Amino acid sequence: MKIHLHAWAMCQSMFCALPCPWQIWDEEARPRVPAFLPLVGLVIGLLWAALCRLARRLALPLPLQALVLAVYPWKVTGGMHLDGFLDVTDAAGSCRDLARRREILKDSHVGAFAVVGCGILMLSQLACFEAAAEKLPAVLLVLLPVVSRCCSSLAVLCLRPMAVSQYAGQARHKSWCSLPLAALALALLVGFGLCGRYGLALLGVLAGYGWALRRGYRTLDGMNGDIAGYALTIGELCGAAVCALL
């Protein structure tokens, strides 16, 4: 039990910019860290929903509500997943050989593909939340980051890592997938039970994540944290897009 608590605390500290009261590092718990991503998503989602309710209570103009809801998921993670989106967008868009694509992935400079992609992402996210701001069930904002992080957890735990990835060489056991699988099933059940047709947004997250994961994984021949962030960002955007269209 202690090692699992350590893994959760490490996951919360690594993948969320919110202060974690328990600062610890346990190398033995490190391989289990990805399995606790859904719990991090739950914390992020609860605050996202609270922010939505506050914006509505303050009767903020719809464009401002949309701006708050669109920017929050990037700020609360310290831009970590957005950074992964930029890196993979640059690498995948370069159309170079595999070795060069991996070099671009690790390059600290921002290329043209990343700049254009980021602009499209931000405009799309803002437009989707403005279209959905009035009708979006707040509880759905709790579930969107849970589902996207269930996907990231399963991808990191199950897919072959890139040789240069931080996950390369770590022990992986299928039993560690039980937490994200259970969290995913519960999130879908609650989503459709409480949100009705807006539960389809969670399927949008799954579809968007799956498409982005396939592109990143095939382009870079392996899994790593940048691909997880890239797919997570696109998955959550697709979830917001489904809400806007319903």
pLDDT tens track for 206-225: 999 999 999 999 999 999 98
The number of folded domains in the chain is 1
Residue 198 lies in a domain: yes
Tokens of 97: 């050989």
Q: Which residue has the tokens 């940048």?
A: 226
Average pLDDT value for residue range 174-182: 85
Contact 128, 243 (CB under 8 A): yes
Residue 31 lies in a domain: no
Residue 126 lies in a domain: yes
Q: Does the pLDDT of residue 2 top 90, yes or no?
A: no
CA–CA distance from 191 to each of 53, 73, 140, 197 (Å)? 18, 19, 7, 9
**What is the rounded (10 degree) CA torsion for 135, 38, 75, 19?**
130
pLDDT in tens, 26-79: 777 787 888 899 999 999 999 999 999 999 999 999 999 999 999 999 999 999
Residue 169's pLDDT is what? Answer: 59
Domain range enclosing 208: 60-245
Task: Give pTM, 2 decimals.
Answer: 0.93
Kindly indicate the confidence band of residue 170, based on its pLDDT and cuts at 50, 70 and 90: low
Residue 8 lies in a domain: no
Residue 63's pLDDT is what? Answer: 93
Residue 7 lies in a domain: no
Residue 29 lies in a domain: no
Residue 38 lies in a domain: no
Residue 1 lies in a domain: no
Q: Does the pLDDT of residue 168 top 70, yes or no?
A: no
Mean pLDDT, all residues of the chain: 90
Residue 72's pLDDT is what? Answer: 95
CA distance 162 to 92: 15
DSSP secondary structure letters along 13-43: HHH-SSPPS-----GGGGGGGGGGHHHHHHH
